[in-house]
Amino acid sequence: MPTPITYYNVELVQFWRGRNERGLANPLHWAIHVPTGHGIGNTYHLLGDSETYTVEYRRQRPHVEPSAWRGSFKVGRVAAHRLGEFERDISRVHIIWDDPAWNSQNWVWDVLRHLRHRGFDISWELYLGMLQTQMCCLVEAWEYGHINL
């Protein structure tokens, strides 16, 4: 009898980044998180600014900043034996330099679309506006104490 395939969820996760000098909330930081065990997983996210962006891979660790967590949303799944390929495909997603309107949210959306087109099990029902709405609802749920990490 063949060994069953192990799958991990693929989540879109967001983190609070504080307020700017005018007191306005900064855009929430989006990342891709693949929970692989109780309280740990692999997080893939964009660091830096429009001149210094780099992609960080955090493997088998808790969320980047648990106190800044503001919600997670399942967007698909990945077979455990395909995690290496999943990461290689993430590294192939183009980064937009010197555009102040482009940020981690745009990068995550580009990654999800790329993974989907490469045959990974990322929901075809997703589109950017829906993800933005879902993530806004999660922030409100967090603010009202309806969700926590």
Separation in Å, CA 29 to CA 2, 38, 125: 41, 23, 22
Per-residue pLDDT of the chain (149 residues; tens, 9 = 90+): 778 899 999 999 999 999 989 999 889 999 999 999 999 999 999 999 889 999 999 999 988 788 999 999 999 999 999 999 999 999 999 999 999 899 999 999 999 999 999 999 999 999 999 999 999 999 999 999 999 87
The domain locations on the chain are 7-143
Please tell me the distance from the alpha carbon of residue 44 to that of residue 50, in angstroms, as a whole number.
Answer: 18
Please tell me the distance from the alpha carbon of residue 103 to that of residue 105, in angstroms, as a whole number.
Answer: 5
Question: Residue 66: what pLDDT?
Answer: 86
Question: Residue 40: what pLDDT?
Answer: 95
Question: Residue 149: what pLDDT?
Answer: 78
63 within 8 A of 13, measured Cβ to Cβ: yes
Question: Residue 44: what pLDDT?
Answer: 97
Please tell me the distance from the alpha carbon of residue 66 to that of residue 20, in angstroms, as a whole number.
Answer: 21
Question: Residue 99: what pLDDT?
Answer: 93
Q: What is the pTM of this model?
A: 0.93
